[in-house]
């Protein structure tokens, strides 16, 4: 999958691209079943909200076949290689849930801010690409983006260790207000199977989900192999240390898995 000149221009301007329905309903349903199986595991990689429901499952591609295949899917890998101009490795892999009623907030932050401070990633030659496994609506805790905020470089942040179960380098309200006054605030929503790519510098967040509708989004954080992290302060299932370039699988790799499991 290659991005058009117009898409590349939009990505440069806004810091993100949205592809509604990029994966089929059957592919999304397969991965949702895989996510539910992962969340049922008692593993250190599966972090939970204070209520006990799953918040995120790290490194699912290392212990689940469906997520292994998604982690090398050409619809994800190829456009990132195009933007980053070369081969990429998996810096981080998360299957993030917003459980009905209990899905907690993700505060305003930049991912590269964390990767720079905690992992000593040299440059923001990395980005996120994500797949919706449920319909994401205005009601069930969608991602919030501030378009154009990736142009601001690394923004000062504080280390929030209290708001949620996951520590995060977060931006203060005054800075978020300033950025939103300049670029606005958007919430990409769409059906299960939709795909997002966004810059590692883009300021983003997601609100708590108090609706009766859960949602799951898978995130691949991909980094150019020359830009790999230099510090190993976090568990290797959070910030990976295998810098081997990802080799994309065939486009039908998920449908093949569906056939194998019938």
Ordered by where they begin, the domains of the chain are: 5-261 (2.60.120.620)
Q: Tell me what pLDDT residue 166 has.
A: 65
In this structure, the dihedral spanned by the alpha carbons of residues 91, 165, 116 and 173, taken in order and rounded to 10 degrees, is 130
Q: Tell me what pLDDT residue 103 has.
A: 84
Tens digit of pLDDT for each residue in 20-40?
999 999 999 999 999 999 999
Q: Tell me what pLDDT residue 106 has.
A: 83
Residue whose C-alpha is closest to residue 109's, from 51, 52, 150, 54: 150
Q: Tell me what pLDDT residue 52 has.
A: 84
Q: Tell me what pLDDT residue 105 has.
A: 85
Length of the chain counted residue by residue = 262
Q: Tell me what pLDDT residue 158 has.
A: 76
Tens digit of pLDDT for each residue in 71-96?
999 999 999 999 999 999 999 999 99
Low pLDDT (below 70) residues in the chain = 160-167, 262
Do residues 17 and 199 make contact, with C-beta atoms less than 8 angstroms apart? no
């Amino acid at each position: 999958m290659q991005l058009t000149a117009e898409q590349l221009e939009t990505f440069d301007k806004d810091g993100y691209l949205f592809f509604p329905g990029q994966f089929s309903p059957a592919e999304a349903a397969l991965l949702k079943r895989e996510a539910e199986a992962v969340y049922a595991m008692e593993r250190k990689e599966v972090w939970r909200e204070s209520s006990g429901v799953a918040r995120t499952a790290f490194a699912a591609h290392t212990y689940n076949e469906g997520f292994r295949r998604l982690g090398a899917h050409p619809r994800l890998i190829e456009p990132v290689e195009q933007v980053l101009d070369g081969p990429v490795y998996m810096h981080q892999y998360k299957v993030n849930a917003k459980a009905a009623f209990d899905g907690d907030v993700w505060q305003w932050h930049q991912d590269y801010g964390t990767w720079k401070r905690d992992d000593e990633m040299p440059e923001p030659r990395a980005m996120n690409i994500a797949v919706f496994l449920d319909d994401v609506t205005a009601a069930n805790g969608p991602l919030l983006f501030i378009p154009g905020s990736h142009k601001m470089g690394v923004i000062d942040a504080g280390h929030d260790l209290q708001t949620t179960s996951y520590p995060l380098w977060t931006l203060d309200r005054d800075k978020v207000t300033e950025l939103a006054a300049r670029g606005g605030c958007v919430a990409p929503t769409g059906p299960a199977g939709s795909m997002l790519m966004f810059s590692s510098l883009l300021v983003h967040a997601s609100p708590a989900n108090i609706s009766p509708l859960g949602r799951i989004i898978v995130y691949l954080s991909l980094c150019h192999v020359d830009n790999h992290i230099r510090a190993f302060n976090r568990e290797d299932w959070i910030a990976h240390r295998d810098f081997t370039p990802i080799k994309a699988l065939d486009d039908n790799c998920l449908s093949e898995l569906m056939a194998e499991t019938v």
